[in-house]
A and B are shown apart, each in its own frame.
Chain A
Amino acid sequence: MRWLGLVVVVACALALAVVLGPAHVPLADLATSDVVRSLRLPRALLAFLVGGSLALAGAGLQALVRNPLADPSLLGLSGGAGLGAVLAIALHVSSPWALPLAAFAGALGAMALVYRLGLVGGAELDPRVLILAGVAVGAFTAAVTTALVSLSDAAELRNAFLWLWGGLSGASWDSVLLLCVYAPLPIAVLLAAARPLDLLALGEEPARHLGADVESVKRRVYVAASLLTAAAVAVSGVIGFVGLVIPHAMRLLWGHRHRPLLPAAFLGGGALLLLSDTVARVAVAPRELQVGIVTALIGVPVFVLLLRRWTAN
């Protein structure tokens, strides 16, 4: 029943995202409208994929670092992405895909650096160190980026920050296709790690004795969650809150077992970002709100409602 409800929510969110918008498109014209086909539909699909990826990565990360407050932004990836984007602009790379690719490359660089820092004794990933390293790398790259931007004369560099917090305006069928090709592998890796993550909750040693290859699981989950987050940041900038709160909300409904939790988180995150983006596009038309603000404004009341229901039981 819960699953049915979730699927219905996702379907409604998709429908709303396609039907509603600042440009008035009558229902009868939906199928043929250029605005719908070239802009709204790919943007809706992208919102679903990005929201789902962020929530899934968040759930995996929270299990990996054994900390329910973990969020993909703690991995330091957005800092790396911002630095990549600023460098691309500073070097006047003019390709239309320059920014996303540079941001992605920057995020991967940050991921590699954090991974290296998270290895203790040269071989084992220590999740607590991972988080600290992620925060440090994120802060450092953000500082370097800010310094570059403020020291430079070019107004364009300042716009890199606009892009980084931009949201889903760059959505097109190209980016949807790209994500559809890229995302399934990291998603599959995370879903496959569901049971080992349950074991990991007991502690690394008990998990090992129960048959989990703990080192491999940690590596796989870290890399997969980072890859998903890097791609999300590259196509839609930094969108906070989804990766942190959706896993918690889904736990209230599905419990802690990761086999149902991970797919539920994906669907829930997709629905949240879809709804948020629709509100962002429509609420103050013709202007557009920053989608990260809307995810927080929508997400918090929903989360509080769920929390009250759970504590009442």
Chain B
Amino acid sequence: MPPSRISVIDDAGRPVALGQPARRIVSLSPAVTELLFALGAGDRLVGRTTWCDYPPAARQVPSVGDGLNPNIEAVIARRPDLVVLYRSALNETAATQLTRLGIPAVLVRQDRLEDIARAARLLGRLTGAERAGDSLGSELEQLTGSVRPDPEHRVRVVFVAWDNPPVVIGAGSYLDELAGLAGAANVFHDVGSASATVGLETIVARNPDVIVVLRDSATAEPPGFTRRPEWRAVRAVRDGRILYLTGSLFARPNPRAAEAVAEFRRRLEESTR
């Protein structure tokens, strides 16, 4: 076996082999794009999705679409020797198609921090930057095991993704993990899935201290639902304790997790002062 041959098993259990470290990579995941730049392999990126906006250098790379339902032709047009996708049913089909066309495709999970850590190591191996990958991976793993404040002093939060019907973020998601790392307790941690529709009266009954809302951009105006009469039954709405998380830092798991945790912790302290 040639010494430079790279063999990995991706998060979908598929074995992928490269003859040499990847030189032309198409990334169909913003987290993967960030990871590649963090590993110093940003110059090897030849294709990205429209969501891949960090770091700024990534925006120079041509886009192959929004990546939600991968445009195979656009991907092939970039002549990649490796394509990295996040794991989903649609993407598994796309990966199979690419493999059949002779292009190695790797699926990575992206729900929680540990997935990003693992992806860092995987990408490190695939790009020949093993040391950087392992180092970043360890960093992120340490973060997940970091010491959390006393459970009794935790700030109780609810992540509201939508107001009518109320959709909250549950334990299956990155935001829930962030909350835990930042010293907050997600009142809907008992909901297993990443998001779920819940009853408004449940939110009222669980009485969170702070409502966290994800936004695309920073505006001063509170979201419409805070003025709706039925939401006024929630104490945090009446008290105006609403926290906005904007930008790609919080929207999805990414290697800047440490920064995200710190920022979140700071914002929480601010809002409960």
Seen from chain A, the residues whose Cβ lies within 8 Å of a Cβ on chain B are 21-24, 34-35, 38-40, 42, 94-96, 98-99, 153-156, 159, 162-163, 166-167, 169-174, 281, 285-288, 290
Main secondary structure of the interface of B (DSSP, over half): mixed
Q: Contacting A286 at CB < 8 Å: which of B202, B227, B233? A: B202
- Which of B166, B224, B225, B226 is packed against the most chain A CB atoms within 10 Å? B224
Q: Give the residue of A34, A40, A154, A169 whose beta carbon is less than 8 angstroms from that of B165.
A: A169
On whether the beta carbons of B197 and A287 are closer than 8 Å, the reply is: yes
Would you call A39 and B230 a contact (CB within 8 A)? yes
Docked-complex contact A288 and B225, CB < 8 angstroms? no
Q: Does B198 contact A (CB under 8 A)?
A: yes
A169 to B197, CA, bound (A): 10
Smallest beta-carbon distance B218→chain A, Å: 14
Q: Is the CB of A287 within 8 A of B196?
A: yes
Q: How far is the CA of A66 from the CA of B20 in the complex (A)?
A: 73
Q: Are B198 and A288 in contact, CB atoms less than 8 angstroms apart?
A: yes
B166's contact among A40, A42, A96, A169, by CB below 8 Å, is which? A169
Complex A-B, nearest 6 residue pairs according to Cβ-Cβ distance, in ascending order: A23-B205, A172-B229, A172-B230, A169-B165, A96-B227, A38-B233
**B232 CB, min distance to chain A CBs, angstroms:** 7
Q: Does A42 lie within 8 Å of B230, measured CB to CB?
A: yes
Nearest CB of B to A124, in Å: 40
Contact of B221 among A23, A34, A94 (CB under 8 A): A94
Contact check, A39 vs B204: say whether CB atoms are below 8 A apart: yes
Given A96-B224, A287-B198, A35 and B204 contact (CB-CB distance below 8 Å): yes
Which residue, A98, A169, A286, has most C-beta atoms of chain B within 10 A? A286
Give the number of residue pairs across the A-B interface with Cβ within 8 Å.
Answer: 95
Please, which residues of chain A bring their CB within 8 A of the CB of B76? Answer: none
In the bound complex, CA of A38 to CA of B167 (Å): 20
Contacts of A42 in B (CB 8 A): 230
Interchain CB contact (< 8 A) of B230 among A38, A167, A290: A38
Give chain A residues whose Cβ lies under 8 Å from the Cβ of B201. Answer: 21-23, 35, 39-40, 281
Q: B residues within 8 Å of A by Cβ?
A: 50, 66, 162, 164-167, 188, 190-191, 196-202, 204-205, 216, 221, 223-230, 232-233
> What would 12 more interface pairs be, CB under 8 Å, given A23-B204, A162-B167?
A21-B199, A23-B202, A35-B201, A38-B232, A39-B233, A96-B225, A159-B162, A169-B230, A281-B201, A285-B199, A286-B188, A288-B197
In the assembled complex, the CB of A159 is this many whole angstroms from the nearest CB of chain B, namely 5
Neighbour of A172 across the interface among B165, B226, B228, CB < 8 A:
B228
In the complex, the answer to whether B233 meets A34 with C-beta atoms within 8 Å is yes
Asked if residues B165 and A173 are in contact (CB atoms below 8 Å), the reply is: no
Partner of A96, one of B197, B204, B228: B228
A129 to chain B: closest CB distance in Å? 35
Contact of A162 among B165, B205, B228, B229 (CB under 8 A): B165
CB contact under 8 A between A286 and B190, given known A35-B201, A154-B216, A281-B199? yes
* Complex interface: chain A residues within 8 A of B196 (CB): 286-287
Q: A22-B201, A35-B233 are in contact. Are A162 and B162 (CB under 8 A)?
A: yes
Contact of B164 with A170 in the complex, beta carbons under 8 Å: yes
Q: With A21-B199, A35-B233 in contact, is A170–B224 under 8 Å at CB?
A: no
Contact A22 B199 (CB under 8 A): yes
Q: Determine the chain B residues whose CB is within 8 A of the CB of A173 once the complex forms.
A: 229
Nearest CB in chain A to that of B198: its residue: A286
